[in-house]
Amino acid sequence: MTQSALPESAMPAVPPRILLGPGPSNVSPRVLQAMMQPMIGYMDPDFMLIMDEVAELLKRVYQSGDAKTMALSGTGSAGMEAGLTNLLEPGDTVVMCIYGFFCERMVDMATRVGANVVPLRADWGRPFPEELLEAELKRHSKVKLVTAIHAETSTGVRQPIGELARIAKAHDALLMVDAVTSLGGNEVSFDDWGADYAYSATQKCLGCPPGMSPVAVSEQAIDAMRQRKQPPMSWYLDLSLLGNYWGWEGQRVYHHTAPVSMILALREGLRQALGEGLPERYARHARNAHALSAGLEALGLGCIVPAEHRLAQITVVSIPDGVEDMQVRQRLLRGYGIEIGGGLGEFAGKVWRVGLMGESSKAEYVLALLSALERSLPEFGYEVAAGAGVAAASDALKSEG
């Protein structure tokens, strides 16, 4: 043992957790097993077949017959930045629908590209009003891109995309959709929406570790990239170069060292999602989220988003007056091994965000969290009826079969 090496007994262990925050979520044992397969070269012909399979599976999950698909080496923010840096050039006008923390991240990225950024800000915790987009697009002679988030992770809002897409198309604008929190847990209809670029992340409803961003790109978006006056500012996230590696043009051209084990994980996660059946998977997420909301309301904890616009993946709940955000979250983590998330931006310190995504969307996890809250909240001065949350959630689960 070298002088600087730690003895094995001193190495920190990774504790077991029930991950019910905004991500990452728990990972399926099958996905972890897939990552343990032997290493293979990133240009090996057999690995090329694996990449082809991943691309085809992504088309099915994105519900697209025509889009080009691949998985970027990077988290969901890489998918966001790739879309903005490839579809926009300096001076291009982009209209951004802003109704949460991650919408604001898009503004920062597009500004760095040098685009003419038009942020349309609406209330957090509510869907974006479609009439705002319609009115703004009428003010411009040419808008290159419209952006929207399908599932705003910071607010727990499920944004109807179809009407925003119709408005964007009526004004000859490309549409970029953030599906980071929705892909694999909510219906994402790339073709029916008429989306041009969509991106997601592996660590949420797809049940994989963080590290990749699956994307779908329309032919119209690819044409726009071909017509650029200059290459994208990011070489690493140049979708044309990456598309060449993923075989979009019928041949493979080396770009970077692909994260082989993560691509194997994604393949297994996609297989599991499609094996469960997408409608059944969406129904599972909705059923467990409904039970959670029923249990929280029985404890007197109000959900921020109206039920008709509430995400199945992220439930945002108000923190009771007099209760300190971090104290409760630490109690859940250290006392019960359960992680939930805090608020971001306008909601920081005011809400908890409970994630039920992919492998973490299980009825037993809902009941475990509610039971832990029933025991923990009175420790911090908020009295609840013992068993009320669990009973309400159990009744909701029984009623939905």
Are residue 43 and residue 192 in the same domain, yes or no? yes
Q: What's residue 5's pLDDT?
A: 66
Residue 195 covered by a domain: yes
> Of the residues 229, 252, 274, which one is the last residue of a structural domain?
274
pLDDT one-digit tens code per residue, 261-274: 999 999 999 999 99
Are residue 266 and residue 289 in the same domain, yes or no? no
In the predicted structure, residue 375 carries a pLDDT above the cut 50: yes
Are residue 297 and residue 268 in the same domain, yes or no? no
Are residue 223 and residue 311 in the same domain, yes or no? no
Residue 183 covered by a domain: yes
Q: What's residue 1's pLDDT?
A: 44
Q: What's residue 144's pLDDT?
A: 98
Mean model confidence pLDDT for the chain: 95
Per-residue HEC secondary structure of 249-302 comes to: CCCCCCCCCCCHHHHHHHHHHHHHHHHHCHHHHHHHHHHHHHHHHHHHHHCCCC
Q: What's residue 3's pLDDT?
A: 56
Residue 197 covered by a domain: yes
Residue 390 covered by a domain: yes
> Of the residues 224, 242, 274, which one is the last residue of a structural domain?
274
In the predicted structure, residue 6 carries a pLDDT above the cut 70: no
pLDDT one-digit tens code per residue, 244-260: 999 998 889 999 999 99
Give residue for tokens 């790339």.
Answer: 190
In the predicted structure, residue 11 carries a pLDDT above the cut 80: no
Give residue for tokens 């579809």.
Answer: 87
Residue 2 covered by a domain: no
For the chain, percent of residues with pLDDT exceeding 90: 94
Are residue 113 and residue 161 in the same domain, yes or no? yes
Q: What's residue 4's pLDDT?
A: 61
We report the CATH number of the domain holding residue 237 as 3.40.640.10
Residue 9 binned pLDDT confidence (cut-offs 50, 70, 90): low
Residue 23 covered by a domain: no
pLDDT one-digit tens code per residue, 61-102: 999 999 999 999 999 999 999 999 999 999 999 999 999 988
Q: What's residue 401's pLDDT?
A: 65
306 closest CA partner among 99, 122, 155: 155
Are residue 187 and residue 311 in the same domain, yes or no? no
Residue 26 covered by a domain: no
Dihedrals φ, ψ of 95, to 5°?
-100, 125
Are residue 45 and residue 142 in the same domain, yes or no? yes
- Count how many domains the chain has: 2
Dist CA 56 CA 46 (whole Å): 16
When pLDDT is averaged across residues 337-342 and rounded to a whole number, the result is: 98
When pLDDT is averaged across residues 295-300 and rounded to a whole number, the result is: 97
Are residue 81 and residue 214 in the same domain, yes or no? yes
Are residue 219 and residue 291 in the same domain, yes or no? no
Are residue 230 and residue 375 in the same domain, yes or no? no
When pLDDT is averaged across residues 177-189 and rounded to a whole number, the result is: 97
Cβ(85)–Cβ(199) under 8 Å? no
We report the CATH number of the domain holding residue 352 as 3.90.1150.10
Residue 111 binned pLDDT confidence (cut-offs 50, 70, 90): very high
pLDDT one-digit tens code per residue, 13-50: 889 999 999 999 999 999 999 999 999 999 999 999 99
> Of the residues 247, 274, 301, which one is the last residue of a structural domain?
274
Domain that holds residue 63: 37-274
Residue 194, SS3 per DSSP: coil
Residue 11 covered by a domain: no
pLDDT one-digit tens code per residue, 185-232: 999 999 999 999 999 999 999 999 999 999 999 999 999 999 999 999
Are residue 309 and residue 285 in the same domain, yes or no? yes
Are residue 170 and residue 69 in the same domain, yes or no? yes
